Structure 1
Amino acid sequence: MILASTAMADVTLDAVVVTATRTERRVEDTPVRTEVISREEIEKTHARTLKDAIENIPGLQLREVHGKSGYELSLQGLSSDQVLVLIDGLPIAASTGSTVNLSQYLLSEVDHIEVIKGAASAQYGSSAMGGVINVITRRVQAGFSGSAAVDVGSYGHQNDSGKAWGAGTKHGQFRLEGGNEQWRLRVSGDTLDDAGFAVKPDGWARQGDASKRQQLGSKLSWLPQANSEVWFEASRYLEDDVQRYQQYVPPKLIPQEKTEAISRDRFVLGAKNIFENGTRVQLQLLDEQYQSLGQAYSQNFRVSQRDFNQQLNHLSAQVDLPAWYGQLWQLGVDWRKERVSQSVNGVSEFYGDKRVSKESRELFVQNDIFLGDDWEVVLGLRVQDDSDFGTHAAPKIALRGNVWESGDWKMVVRSSVGQGYRVPNLKERHFLFDHSALGYMVLGNPNLKPESSKSWQLGANIALAKQFSLDVNAYLNQVKDLIQIDESNAVKNNGIAQYTYKNIDRTETKGIETTLDWRIFRPFNMNASYTWNQSKDLNGGRELTRRPAHMARLGFDWQIAEGSEFTLRSRYQSAELISSDHYSAGWTTADIKFNQHINKNIKAYIGIDNVSNVQRDFSNQNDFGPISGRFFYLGTAFAWGNQ
């Protein structure tokens, strides 16, 4: 996976990361276990969206966002509502008021991605109980450079056109940047046009939604002196989706269609300065607007229109003090406000108000203590004041130690204990999701209590220079008042099943993750991981749904010849509980990629995703295997200047 944790192969050993302690550190020196997806891995596997980029992370589960064209994630048995997704340390708007759709972020600006698991990351506040995914964008370079790539792909006989060699997808991206020592500018764009697919292309229903995603971004940086920078970023994301399905109305199936038009406008103003005494100050201000217009049709007649609007404002300020008696102190504040509205046919889907909002103010303090050359302790505390739920404090402690070193061999241990805290989001408390046409409704519960957790992480890494690395990590997450939909107690009203959210008193997820990276010989790397997870409702002793017990990853990278590289990425997921007595079967998929560098500027590439064509049974509502079958594509990329 060329991503793995704290000390992996070549490119990750010297990577500089920021998420673990909110300061720049080499990944192998971080006191909190950090996993990195490098730009090299993104380009090698031809990832197009954030979902594609993170799918090989050990222990990460991808799930479809219910009723949407996209994916959410689960880490260590904790759901996407409990994992915080960030862009350069700032939140990104959730597509449904709670869950970030990983398919709605394209990658032309991305440098690398950092992953922290568990509540040791609670320094980032509410929604970070299960971990943090932090997307780090490229720093704009002086001079002039750029890149461009295009590719086309096919779902074979499942292409919506019915033509096996037709273009099922079209993708293109570009990046241009340059400047001098004081002023620098980047402009980038990305588009992904997917025509969708169908098991029977000549029928109405389409199992793979049609979607067109476009993202434009720019960043202007001013560097008045060597240790200062002021920047402004602006980006726009557009998406158009079309879902086609059939609903059974005796005695026949009735064609149904749902369209959704999405826009996201994101603006960031930031500044940082390093003073002569070593004090570092950084300030960032975010304004993001997310809008969605969904329309449902039955036999070409529009039956409903859903309007969703969300505004997200976030202010983050951080001060890092110079080293003092082997200690690094850090202080910071975060302020965040969300305003959300949603209506169907002009009628609000909130109880009472047409628009709801929440505001939080958070203070964090951290002390990084170095105990000689081999040991380090990080003490942290975050105090959060929420407009609806008052004040809560969440402490954490992390320990890192170099316990053994002999020649090129080195062993490092890491452990952490942290408290997590998440207030119910606006969707869980106030939304009324009326999907009566599909036979159900989801009702918000204004009486929900906040979730709280304790997370224990204990692991060790043993490495031989840049040739071998083995990482083993055990975790335990104990969650009080876990929020999820109560599927066991649906109320029937005029034939419509009504579900609501509830708190589960005591739950826990625990498991072990192992990751191996081995350069067997110079042109051949192997990387593998295995995760065992157990998730339970401690009151009833029942297994929690949608949390597979076993997941594995296997990858090979083979430098066949100078400029020619073959890559394999394989994923396994065991059976997962869907309801009280139904399981979705386990599955295994494999992707193969080939990159050929024609010269120092141009490369051609091809790939086959899901080589063995593993696909769910769409007639079985309890089958949550892969949606897409075999997918073939080819493309070319061009780059010049500083990369």
Structure 2
Amino acid sequence: MSLPFSPHRICAPSLLLGSLLLPCLGAATVHAAEVADSLSTIVVTGTRSEKTLDETPVPTEVVDAKEIARTQARTLKDALENVPGLQLTEIHGKSGFTVAMQGMTSDQVLVLIDGLPISASTGSSIDVSQYLLTEVDHIEVVKGASSAQYGSSAMGGVINVITRRIAPGLSASATADAGSYGAQNVHSPFGSAHGNLRVSGGNAQWRASVAADVLDNKGFAVNPDAWSRQGDAIRREQYSGRLEWLPTSAGHFWVDASTYRETDVQRYEYFAPPTYVPQRKTEDITRNRLTYGGQWRFDSGVKARLTGLAEDYDSRSQEYSNQVGTASRASTLRTEHVSLQFDLPAWKRQLWQFGGDLHRERLKQNANGISELIGSAERTSQELFAQNDIIFNDTWEMVLGLRGQEDSDFGTHFAPKIGLRANLPTAGGWRSVLRANFGQGYRVPNLKERYYLFDHSALGYVVLGNPNLKPEASNSFQFGGTTTWNERLTLNANLFYNQVRDLIQTDMENFTVVNGIAAYTYRNVARARTKGLETGFKWQASPALAWTGAYTFTDAKDRDTGQELTRRPRNIVRVGLDWQMLPATELSLRARLQSSELAASASPERSPGWSTLDFVINQKLGRDVTAFFGVKNLTNRQRDFSNANDFGPVAGRFVYLGARISLDAAR
């Protein structure tokens, strides 16, 4: 869905009011900041150039810093929970979540940090739980095919995390909080503890920042005295440092280094008749990321921007049965990326843009010292793109884009896109914008889908890569509009239609069984399509009270068989409220509802629908300190772990308390 304001502010003042609003329009995802402020937000993802949110021809949604702070989001997964239409799905057999949109899969959604890719935790999909938010300024979400701007893996949409720039002077911030799963805590009064620290400063030419963020989750269990844990014990640590040089007003150069550490412990049981045998799996993950870049505006008005990335993602896991080691696995993914972009000055009401990307990935994996890959898992690509933003007049604007991609294994492909924006006449305080977009998506099979042996023998299955897969391709159509009344009420709607050729899915129907282990592989679905409607609203009912809502309907089918595609709920609803109860006290509520979804193509079984309600109270204690208290999943809706087809929330009710301090010497 495309909201011209930060789209993640879902709240409900009470279960009664929430239940009354759900059937009407659905869900909410913004905050109580004034609409005028949100409309002036600068975004870059849709066109790779700076535009206000109201003026971009490409529908874009924003999770801003106020929303992140208001909802006390700790990870990228938390920050995306309230974005209209986004579906967060647990990674099967791992402790993490992926994100999908508009009926497309998580493999078809490109996740970026400052415009540069981030490594996939499984060699394909990004685990959005593995990025902590201390250095994040805001998040931009663009739905639909964006290949003309971002290349392979962007056919379903783009999520671009924008990190904080460093202001001159000295500033510091810190957060500490802890929470409990109640009776499901595992031998600890706290289920989770979290803390972060950021210090930044500098002068007109040199600036630097350092940050640390630690999230320690002890896990949880329906029966804490039993061996099995439904919630894994996970410790996440992220440390970063950034240096910026601004030699003149025309230039800006930077280098950013970060490291991420994760320790994950899973505990479950395997049934070996007549007893259940205790199983344990540990995984240690390291992600070292180095990014660099610079931009310069020449006297001619041409702006050049060069950015680069080198990232290593390493995973080491060990499996135990009855405390005896049974298997060890080591995986390393190396990602290198360089991007060069030129923005030309305005010429006859046209804004030209040219650029190119070089990309390389290498995957290595072994189990017990033996390679688990089919062939050499490496991919390189060279890509060129061009865009022309034509501003015909104060009413009409059109963006034309074309991207050429040369892939090491799949040859050359061209992907065009076109976007049209129209300002409708204003009257009686109303202001309206229409947007229409078409883009061709293209995605080559990732390294996991082609080469990986995803071994979960302990759980009774393995997934084998298929080196004969074809690239996916799509035609994506978006049409919608936004209307605003007196900067107090904003309504929007967006229709989407995606035609997909050679959609890659796990083949759940054709599999073999060897020694009791089911072996699945990937296949291309010849033709598939997703279509639907995204709607949303924001109402500033009073200076102290804001309502938001969003509803997304999705219909996804295999066009050859007519069968519904799996793991795509037809209805997703979000509702939100932000209420400034007192000058120093703010209450925020976020409600989410998701309908049932088909569990597997070979079975009519469906995962039941579910809903959750979160609330948080932020209390200012003077100018620099904010205390907060919140409850996630207040109604305690938790999946039935005995039902393999229940994909509802993993964690039950979680209660937390904490404080944040922000110091700015320039104030």
Asked if TM exceeds 0.5, the reply is: yes
Alignment of 1:422 onto 2:443: yes
Measured after TM superposition, the shift of residue 406 of structure 1 is: 1.7
- Alpha-carbon separation, structure 2, partners of 1:619 and 1:9: 46
Alignment partner of 1:90 is 2:116 = yes
Name the structure 2 match of 1:77: 103
Deviations 1:514-543 (A, max 9, x none): 010001111000000000000000000000
Local SS of the residue matching 1:29? coil
Instruction: Tell me how far apart the structure 2 counterparts of residues 481 and 4 of structure 1 sit (CA, whole Å).
Output: 36
Matched residue, 2:137:
111
Shift of residue 10, structure 1, vs aligned partner: 4.4
Q: Which residue of structure 2 aligns with residue 313 of structure 1?
A: 336
Superposition RMSD in Å:
1.3
Aligned equivalent of 1:449: 470
Q: Tell me if the contact between 1:461 and 1:472 (Cα under 8 Å) persists in the aligned partners.
A: yes
1:23 is the counterpart of 2:44: no
Which of the residues 537, 559, 569 maps onto 1:538? 559
- In structure 2, C-alpha distance between the alignment counterparts of 1:313 and 1:156, rounded to whole Å: 44
- TM-superposed CA distance for 1:405, in Å, is 0.8
1:142–1:180 CA contact under 8 A, matched in 2: yes
Determine if the alignment matches structure 1 residue 385 to structure 2 residue 385. Answer: no
Give, in whole Å, the separation in 1 of the partners of 2:51 and 2:585.
33
Other-structure match for 1:294: 317
Q: How does 1:337-486 map to 2 (within 5 A)?
A: 337-353=360-376, 356-486=377-507
**1:270-298, Cα deviation, whole Å (9 max, x unpaired):** 01011122111000111001100011000
Looking at structure 1, the residues matched to 458 and 300 of structure 2 have their Cα atoms a distance apart, in angstroms, of 65
Q: CA deviation at 1:431?
A: 1.2
State the 1:374 CA deviation: 1.3
Name the aligned partner's letter for residue 620 of structure 1: N
1:43 counterpart SS class: helix
Residue type of the partner of 1:268? T
1:132 Cα deviation after fit: 0.1
Q: How does 1:228-267 map to 2 (within 5 A)?
A: 228-267=251-290
Pairing 1:600–2:623 present: yes
Q: How far apart are 1:435 and its partner, in Å?
A: 2.1
User: Which of 204, 209, 212 lines up with 1:181 in the alignment?
Assistant: 204
Read off the aligned partner of 2:614 and give its amino acid letter. Answer: D
* 1:623-642 matched pairs, under 5 angstroms: 623-641=646-664
Check the 8 A contact 1:120/1:398 in 2, yes or no.
Answer: no
Report the AA paired with residue 210 of structure 2.
V
- Give the AA of the match of 2:374: Y
Q: Deviation at 1:4?
A: 5.6
SS at match of 1:213: strand
Q: Is the 2:284–2:316 Cα contact (8 Å) retained in structure 1?
A: yes
Aligned residues: 637
Verify the 8 A CA contact 1:523 1:559 in the aligned structure 2: yes
Give the letter for the 2:552 counterpart.
Answer: T
Q: Aligned to 1:170, what secondary structure does the other structure show?
A: strand
Residue type of the partner of 2:628?
Y
Check conservation: 1:120, 1:455, Cα contact below 8 A. no
Structure 2: how far apart are the matches of 1:313 and 1:409? 48
Q: Does 1:227 align with 2:250?
A: yes
For the pair 1:41 / 2:62, whether they are aligned, the reply is no
Q: Which runs of 5+ in 2 are unaligned?
A: 1-7, 10-28
Give the aligned partner of residue 172 of structure 1: 195
Deviations for 1:45-90, whole angstroms, at most 9, x for unmatched residues? Answer: 0000000000101111011112211100110011110000000000
Give the alignment of 1:115-134 within 5 angstroms: 115-120=141-146, 122-134=148-160
* Secondary structure in structure 1 of the residue aligned to 2:340: strand
1:269 Cα shift? 1.4
1:541 counterpart SS class: coil
- Residues 121 and 129, structure 1, Cα contact 8 Å, conserved in 2: yes
Q: Does 1:502 align with 2:528?
A: no
What one-letter code is carried by the residue in structure 2 that aligns with 1:557?
D
Please say if 1:582 is aligned against 2:605: yes
1:157 alignment partner, SS class: helix
Paired letter, 2:239 = L
Partner of 2:534: 513
Task: Specify the SS of the correspondent of 1:286.
Answer: strand
Structure 2: which amino acid aligns with 1:152?
A: A
Q: Secondary structure at the match of 1:208?
A: coil
* Aligned pair partner of 1:212 in 227, 232, 235: 235
In 2, distance between residues paired with 1:271 and 1:389? 32
The 1-side partners of 2:488 and 2:584 are apart by 21
Identify which of structures 1 and 2 has the higher relative contact order when contacts are C-alpha pairs closer than 8 Å and 6+ apart.
2
- Indicate conservation of the 8 Å contact 1:84/1:128, yes or no: yes
What letter corresponds to residue 195 of structure 1 in structure 2? K
Tell me, which stretches of 5 or more residues in structure 1 are unaligned?
Answer: none
What residue identity is the alignment partner of 1:228? G
- CA, structure 1 residues 421+133, in 2 after alignment: closer, same or farther (shift >3 Å)? same
**Quick one: distance in 2 between partners of 1:361 and 1:325?**
31
* Alignment of 1:148 onto 2:167: no
TM-score by length of 2: 0.94
Q: Structure 2 CA distance, aligned partners of 1:567 and 1:24?
A: 31
Q: Secondary structure at the match of 2:67?
A: helix
**Could you report, residue by residue, the CA deviation over 1:377-420 in whole angstroms, capped at 9, with x for unpaired residues?**
00000000000000000000000010121253101000100000
Shift of 1:466: 2.4
Indicate the SS of the match to 2:509.
helix
Q: Which amino acid aligns with 1:605?
A: F
Conserved 8 A contact 2:240-2:259: yes
Q: Per-residue CA shift, 1:200-257, capped at 9, x if unaligned?
A: 0000000000000000011100110012011010000000000000010011110000
> Deviation per CA, 1:599-631, whole angstroms, max 9, x where unpaired?
110010010000000000000101111000000
Structure 1 stretches of 4+ with a deviation exceeding 4 A read none
Query: What is the alpha-carbon distance in structure 2 between the residues aligned to residue 28 and residue 204 of structure 1?
Result: 53
